[in-house]
Structure 1
Amino acid sequence: MPRTDWTPHRRDDGELLGWIHPEGEAWVAIDVLGRAVSGPTEWLDAEAALEDHGIAWLADPWMLEGEAERPLRVRIVEVTPDGEGRSFVDCGRRRARCACAVSPAARGAARTSAGGG
C-alpha cells in the first residue's frame, strides 16, 4: 500500500483521504488504512466515497487487539503509507507514545471502541 497504479486523493487543504485504483473498467476508493470504501464504480463516485468517508473517524478511540495480554484502548496519532500499512498509536499513557505496526492482516484487529473500524 499504495501501489503504483493507485492515485492519491486529497482534501482541498492537501490532507490525504486515500487512494483510487483501477479495477477492470471501474475504480475503487481505498482509505488511509488500506480498506475499500467503495466497490467498483465511476471515478467521480470513488472520489465522493472518499470525501464522504473523510478522516475524522481516525480521531475516535480504537481497541487494538493482539499487542498485549488484553485489548488496548488507543488513539491513532499518525498514519503513514509506507508500504507496510503502519499506523502509530497513542497507547493511553498521557506522555507516552508507542509505535504499533498494524499490518494488512491485522487491520481487522484494530476497531473503534464503538465496535466499528
Structure 2
Amino acid sequence: MFEQDKPIYLQIRERIEDQIVDNQLKEGEQAPSTTQLVNFYKINHATVSKGVNQLVEEGILFKRRGIGMFVAEGARERLIQNRKDTFLENFVVGLVQEANKLGITDQELFELIKKCKGSV
C-alpha cells in the first residue's frame, strides 16, 4: 500500500494532490478528514495530519472550523505548475544536458520524444 523508501505522510499528501490534479477532488469540494484517512489507511493520526497540514500551509487545502477541509480555489493549477517545475528540474534539464553531450540536435531530440511518447 505504501512505498518503503518514502515517508508515509508524503505519500498521503501526494495521494490528495493526485486526486486534485485528476479532478477527483474539485476546487471548493470537501476533502477527506484526517479521521477518515486514519481509518481508511489504518495509520497514525499524527502521520496523516503532517501531510494534510503541509497542504493547508501551502494553500492547497483550507479548513472551516467544525466543518472540515476543502480544496482551495486555484489549487489544481498551482499543483500542476509545481509538478511541471519539478519535472523540468528532475528530468528535462538532465535530458537536454545529455543530448548536448551526445551532439543530438533539437530536431532529433524532439523526434525522439515524439517517438517515445507514441509508444507509451
Same-fold call, TM cutoff 0.5: no
Write 1 or 2 for the structure with the bigger share of strand: 1
Name the structure with the higher helix share: 2
Larger radius of gyration: 2
Specify the TM-score bucket, using the shorter chain as the normaliser: under 0.3
Structure with higher RCO (Cα < 8 A, 6+ apart): 2
